[in-house]
Amino acid sequence: MRTVYVNGEYLPETEAKVSIFDRAFLMADGVYEVTSVLGGKLIDFDGHARRLARSLAELDMKAPCTEDELLAIHRELVARNEITDGLVYLQVTRGSAGDRDFAFPDPETTEPTLVLFTQNKPGLADNPAAKAGIKVISIEDIRWGRRDIKTVQLLYPSMAKMAAKKAGCDDAWFVEDGKVTEGSSNNAYIVKGGKIITRELSTDILHGITRAAVLRCAKEAQMEVEERSFSIDEAKEADEAFVTSASSFVMPVVEVDGAKVGTGTPGPVAARLREIYLEESLKAAV
């Protein structure tokens, strides 16, 4: 049985409780982060902590604790649950004022809710999909306009995942005004003529922590990077495609809307980036 963290307490998962009046439950009024664990250490923790602080600030939400306290909680959960490879999920909500109201509760009298739990994923970095590649479909992007804030309102991404599953594929890429924004839970890329192309940062996409690290690795490896939007047709004509996220790292995409990308097998750029990213991330893990 897992040990989880709820508002200052480490509890068996069966004893963890949050109020039915919690704002996340009633209004999706919360933000979250997912940090990978490899070899018992946290990957890119500083980046996730910075993005969490930004999400909280953008929503005028009170921080539940300091970054140092958050790191200590992560480490304690990893230790208590004996996680070698896996994930730590963190969620902060605006809390519970004891009733339902559209207006925000007073942060002076309503404390935010802080919940964390682990997921055990043995061999996380050795996912067989990284060698086979994944297939994606495209789907219209009808999410709200502040996708740069990592909120818990994930209904449409969940629907996109299910649409992909029904189509016999692995994931979906969102398309808005003819251009790919991002994947349902990842950032999207194509490779053409050795150049890595991915959408520029804005409120249209999540500012991926793995995205930032992978692009840094690419530039250090003398790979050319162009940050701009691209279409599904461009993706179909690309030499390679891939996605990045905290849980999949660098994942090759071999098919888009039924069309093979390149040779229909994972390409050398994605493979090399995955190798470099994992190597560098493990060196810096905490």
Each residue of 233-276: pLDDT tens digit?
A: 999 999 999 999 999 999 999 999 999 999 999 999 999 999 99
* Distance (Å, whole) CA 110 – CA 48: 25
- At 51 the pLDDT is 98
- At 244 the pLDDT is 98
Based on the residue annotation, tell me whether 195 is a catalytic residue of this protein.
Answer: no
Give the whole-number percent of the chain exceeding pLDDT 90: 100
**Measured at the alpha carbon of residue 146, what is the angle toward residues 142 and 150, in degrees to the nearest 5?**
105
* Distance (Å, whole) CA 156 – CA 182: 13
- At 210 the pLDDT is 97
Which residue among the candidates 62, 131, 135, 150 is catalytic per the annotation? 150
- At 155 the pLDDT is 97
- 111-145 residues labelled b (16+ CB within 10 A) or e (exposed): ebbbbbbbeebeebbebeebeebbbbbbbebebee
Q: Find the mean pLDDT for residues 5-28.
A: 98
- Read off the pLDDT band of 56 (50, 70, 90): very high
The DSSP code for 15 is G
Nearest-CA neighbor of 226 among 262, 199, 187, 186?
199
- At 191 the pLDDT is 98
Dihedral pair phi/psi, residue 119, rounded to 5°: -130, 125
Residue type, 54: R
Kindly report the average pLDDT of the chain as a whole number: 97
* Distance (Å, whole) CA 283 – CA 286: 9
